[in-house]
Amino acid sequence: MASELDPRKKKILKVITDDYIVSAEPVGSRTIARRYDLGLSPATIRNEMADLEEGGYLEQPHTSAGRIPSDQGYRYYVDALMSLQQLSEKEIERIHQELDRHRQQLESIIHQTSKLLVQMTRYPSLVLSPHSEDAVFRHIQLVRLSDTAILALVVTDSGHVENKVIEFEGGISDAELDRISLILNEKLRGIRLKDLRSSLLSEIRSELIAHQDFYNEAIQLLTRVIGTTGTKERVYIDGATKILEQPEFSELHKFKPLMDALDEEERLYKLLSENIGGTFVKIGSENKSLGLSGCSIVTASYEIAGRTVGVIGVLGPTRMDYAKVLPIVENTAAILSELLTQMSRRCSK
Amino acid sequence: MASELDPRKKKILKVITDDYIVSAEPVGSRTIARRYDLGLSPATIRNEMADLEEGGYLEQPHTSAGRIPSDQGYRYYVDALMSLQQLSEKEIERIHQELDRHRQQLESIIHQTSKLLVQMTRYPSLVLSPHSEDAVFRHIQLVRLSDTAILALVVTDSGHVENKVIEFEGGISDAELDRISLILNEKLRGIRLKDLRSSLLSEIRSELIAHQDFYNEAIQLLTRVIGTTGTKERVYIDGATKILEQPEFSELHKFKPLMDALDEEERLYKLLSENIGGTFVKIGSENKSLGLSGCSIVTASYEIAGRTVGVIGVLGPTRMDYAKVLPIVENTAAILSELLTQMSRRCSK
DNA sequence: GATTAGCACTCGCCTAGCGAGAGTGCTAAC
DNA sequence: GTTAGCACTCTCGCTAGGCGAGTGCTAATC
């Protein structure tokens, strides 16, 4: 697997990939000679193509069809060949605008982001919502709903709000509730939700023991809030049906497994969470994870104040327009990061 | 359009529909005579079928294929012929269990409900989440996040919580915040969100004028909370790809419009919101709304304490197994109503 | 030695043609 | 009113043949 190809082979591989990405048809030597001005005859190109196939960069669906890039070919293309399509000012502006319109609410922004990706790329989009384990506790608020029901609200530094109705047999007075709130806020401010589980719990427990009267109830309450916070990570998927627009999906049955995968949140979650931190392109068989051969995903992480909190990306056939998609995904992630960071600043100032 | 068919015609229409629902193939006279014990010869059945076609209940895809039910035929079938499949104890139990497991959170229950419908019917499910305009205001809470950002939480009697981060240039003191909370809670308790918009606003406005000092800020805050509350209604769709399992979708291109419709929340919203209150079966062309010819939807409303708050349903080809789906949807809605009503009781007791 | 032209060959795809099967409508007999 | 029989129609699947695209090889050319 010679990792360096001579310039002409590179050029030819690039041209074949470019062409195949838009046409979805195996591309032949003649087509290349005609369509692209390489100053080479079909015969020469044929020879080069034979070499590239030898090297594992190209494949023939059957004798005497044209060639198509193999997974390895795509990999090389993505890593070394493609010329990233610059997003125009206008496109970047659009991302800004669309996201800005919904700047108020986290949920809404996430949702909007995935919709935007779908529109810009014409591929289904995946969004892994803020990874709340990494979020930092900011504020807890306990609101009485009735004698036995209490609404607990946890606000994180990303502005995310989690709410949970807790039923409470024992009954708690308003004064007790306030004191519990106070203690919790004092103790928990600035702590990452991840670190919350056990270590601090005992400390708070002893703190509360001082107020013998509601020890039991308070501990109960606390463990229940913590136990159910931070589990709300979600994978949003949007435009799933866009994948059907791709010509390779005309034989539907082949892609049943893919469609099933899209319906299963856990798989997607796993898939995305492997890609936390940075930008990733995973091609075809590189997604061993279930049913996704024949597909590629392009993902980028987004962050709040430098801390990665989630992943966005799009899903498409291996014949995906990487040169176009990659910048879109990256820019969107960047702008999203910016926006979220601003939001967070505002909240914590 | 004679609204009454003679018993034998009914029987034949029913048998044809039943058969077509499972086979998805046009059904012929001979098949019926063989498969169902009607004591009639194919020829007789042919005559009856000709009559039924005359009456608009059956259609022929082409000469000398079998017959398939027309939309009108389905309508008659649903209204008069089909024998509803009783759900077994076990199935009802299952609905209870699945929903119970997630009884704590509204969002989660809604989500779970739609998943459940998909699993039980093998069709995509649609859920219109609680119609918050009909919800009753219970409590508002203002939480300071920073000098300029305030988190407003509105709790409704269904236990639904809406949150909104509000930015606030002017700056407000904690005391002011508390007083605003107080006044709002006093004034708004028990009011339906729908009635909130204008009528009460002026009253509250005059109330606040008394406290000249923060008049402007308070009004601003209030209008912003109200303006953005109650807009969070959502259509959940789940298992969209299940529709592809239906044989009629093998020619994919025909159903592109449908798939598109599934991606557009507004359309679905409109579609579902037409069906508020009770159980509906809309067949084929009865869904004039965009791209849904060839499809039927079965919906049922669910309620909290007798007040309709949302709609659940499934979407399938006109050749849908109504007899099976209808009870499932109805029962699920009923159980969901029960569960939500309980939750609401607990909150308001 | 690299490049190119020419040519025979291979293979998938499209079309036409054919036969089988399923289903119908009509007619005539029961 | 019901049924048997029959001719007719239409779809579907299969096969064969022609076409086109593309290849690999060889020999000629630069």
**Domain co-membership, A324 together with A259:** yes
CB contact under 8 A, B147 and A349: yes
- Tens-place pLDDT, residues B110-138: 878 888 999 999 999 999 877 655 667 77
The more confidently predicted of residues A129 and A274 is: A274
Domain's final residue, options B213, B228, B243: B228
Q: Which among A193-197, B115-119, B250-254 has the top mean pLDDT?
A: B115-119
Q: Quote the tokens at residue B102.
A: 């997630």
- pLDDT one-digit tens code per residue, A295-328: 889 999 998 888 888 899 999 888 899 999 999 9
- Residue B269 in any domain: the answer is yes
- Do residues B283 and B78 make contact, with C-beta atoms less than 8 angstroms apart? yes
Do A167 and B346 count as a contact with CB atoms less than 8 A apart?
yes
Percent of chain B having pLDDT more than 70?
Answer: 74
Which tokens go with B1? 């359009």
Percentage of chain A modeled with pLDDT above 70:
74
Identify all chain A residues contacting B242, using CB atoms and an 8 Å cutoff.
Answer: 263
Residues of A with CB under 8 A from a CB of B: 104-105, 138-139, 141, 143, 145-149, 151, 153, 155, 159, 161, 163-165, 167, 228, 238-242, 244-245, 249-250, 252, 256, 259-260, 262-263, 343, 346-349
Last residue of one domain, picked from the residues A17, A46, A81: A81
Do B104 and A252 make contact, defined as CB atoms within 8 angstroms? Answer: no
In a domain, B275, yes or no: yes
What is the rounded end-to-end Cα distance, in angstroms, of chain A? 55
CB within 8 Å: B146 and A346: yes
To test the contact with chain A by mutation, choose from B146, B165, B248 the residue with the greatest count of A C-beta atoms within 10 A, namely: B165
- B117, B314 Cβ separation under 8 angstroms: yes
Question: Which of A174, A177, A181, A241 has the highest number of chain B CBs within 10 A, making it the mutation to test binding with B?
Answer: A241
A132 touches strand D (CB under 7 A): no
Which residue type occupies B141? Q
* Per-residue pLDDT tens over the stretch A284-294: 888 776 667 77
Cβ(A113)–Cβ(A133) below 8 Å: no
- Asked if the Cβ of residue A29 lies within 7 A of any atom of strand D, the reply is yes
CATH code where residue A18 lies: 1.10.10.10
| Closest residue of chain B to A249, computed from CA coordinates | B252
Mark out chain B residues that contact chain A at CB-CB < 8 A.
Answer: 104-105, 138-139, 141, 143, 145-149, 151, 153, 155, 159, 161, 163-167, 228, 238-242, 244, 249-250, 252, 256, 259-260, 262-263, 343, 346-349
CA distance B232 to chain A (A): 10
Task: State how far residue B330 is from chain A, nearest Cα, in angstroms.
Answer: 24
List Cβ neighbours of B74 (8 Å cut-off, separation of 6 or more): B17, B283, B284, B296, B318, B322
Residues A58, A36, single domain; the answer is yes
* Phi, psi of A144, rounded to the nearest 5 degrees: -75, 130
* pLDDT confidence bin for B221, thresholds 50/70/90: low
B195 within some domain: yes
Give the A:B interface size as CB pairs under 8 Å: 107
pLDDT score for B51: 94
The pLDDT score that the predictor gives to residue A1 is: 47
What pLDDT sits at residue A347? 60
Burial class, B275, CB count within 10 angstroms (exposed 0-12 / middle 13-18 / buried 19+) = buried
Instruction: Tell me how crowded residue A42 is: count the other CB atoms within 10 A of its CB.
Output: 15
State which residue of chain A sits closest to B165, comparing Cα positions: A104
Is B2 domain-assigned?
Answer: no
Residues in Cβ contact with A113 at an 8 Å cutoff, skipping those fewer than 6 apart: A99, A125, A127, A312, A332, A336
Q: Are residues B220 and B251 both part of a single domain?
A: no
User: Do B336 and B246 belong to one domain?
Assistant: yes
Supply the DSSP string of B125-180, one letter for each residue.
Answer: EEEE---GGGSBEEEEEEEE-SSSEEEEEEEETTS-EEEEEEE-SS---HHHHHHH
Protein residue closest via CA to C1' of D12: B65
Cα gap A101→B349, rounded to integer Å: 39
Amino acid symbol at A68: I
Judge: A240–B241 Cβ closer than 8 Å, yes or no: yes
Residues B237 and B119 in one domain: yes
If one counts every other C-beta atom within 10 angstroms of the C-beta of residue B256, the result is 13
| CATH number of A121's domain | 3.30.450.40
- What is the dihedral angle through the alpha carbons of A18, A24, A28, A31, rounded to the nearest 10 degrees? -70
Which among A151, A239, A252 is the nearest to B161, CB-wise?
A151
Look at residue B1 and tell me if it is in a domain.
no
Domain assignment of residue A1, yes or no: no
A139 plus A120 within the same structural domain: no
Residues B61 and B143 in one domain: no
Domain identity same for B216 and B343? no
pLDDT at B180 over 80: no
Question: Looking at per-residue confidence, does B109 or B223 come out higher?
Answer: B109
User: What CATH number is associated with residue A201?
Assistant: 3.30.390.60
Query: Using the beta-carbon criterion (under 8 Å), do A347 and B241 form an inter-chain contact?
Result: no
**Nucleotide nearest residue A43, measured CA to C1':** C4
Residues B224 and B162 in one domain: yes
Averaged over A227-247, what is the pLDDT?
A: 71
Q: With bands split at pLDDT 50, 70 and 90, how would you rate the model's confidence at A257?
A: low
Q: Which residue range forms the structural domain that includes residue A77? A: 7-81
∠ at Cα B227 (B221, B231), nearest 5°? 135
State the number of CA atoms in the 13 A half-sphere of A219 facing the CB. Answer: 17
Q: Which chain B residues are within 8 Å of A129, Cβ to Cβ? A: none
Q: Which two tokens stand for residue B143?
A: 């939480």
Do A189 and A102 share a domain, yes or no? no
Domain end (from B177, B205, B228): B228
Query: Is there a contact between B249 and A249 if contact means CB atoms under 8 Å apart?
Result: no
Rounded distance, CA B226 to CA B217, Å? 14
Provide the CA A65 to C1' C9 distance, Å, integer: 13
Q: With pLDDT > 90 as the criterion, what percentage of chain B qualifies?
A: 28
Q: How confident is the model at residue B313 (pLDDT cuts 50, 70, 90)?
A: very high
Among A108, A136, A143, pick the best mutation site for testing chain B contact (most B Cβ within 10 A).
Answer: A143
B175 and B290 together in one domain: no
Q: Is residue A94 part of a domain?
A: yes
Give the pairing type, strands B295-304 and B279-282: antiparallel
B1-10 mean pLDDT: 78
How confident is the model over B287-299, as a mean pLDDT?
A: 79
A145–B167 CB contact, under 8 Å: no
Instruction: Give the range with max mean pLDDT: A148-152, B17-21, B127-131.
Output: B17-21
Residue at B330 is within a domain: yes
The identity of residue B295, as a single letter, is C
Structural domains of chain B, count: 3
C-alpha distances out from residue B341 to B106, B180, B308, B337, Å = 12, 31, 11, 6
3-state secondary structure of A168: coil
Under 8 Å between Cβ of A126 and A272: yes
Instruction: Check whether residue A335 and residue A245 sit in a common domain.
Output: yes
Counts of helices then strands in chain A (DSSP H, E)? 12, 10
Residue B160 CB coordination number (10 Å): 22
User: Quick one: tokens of A329?
Assistant: 């995904």
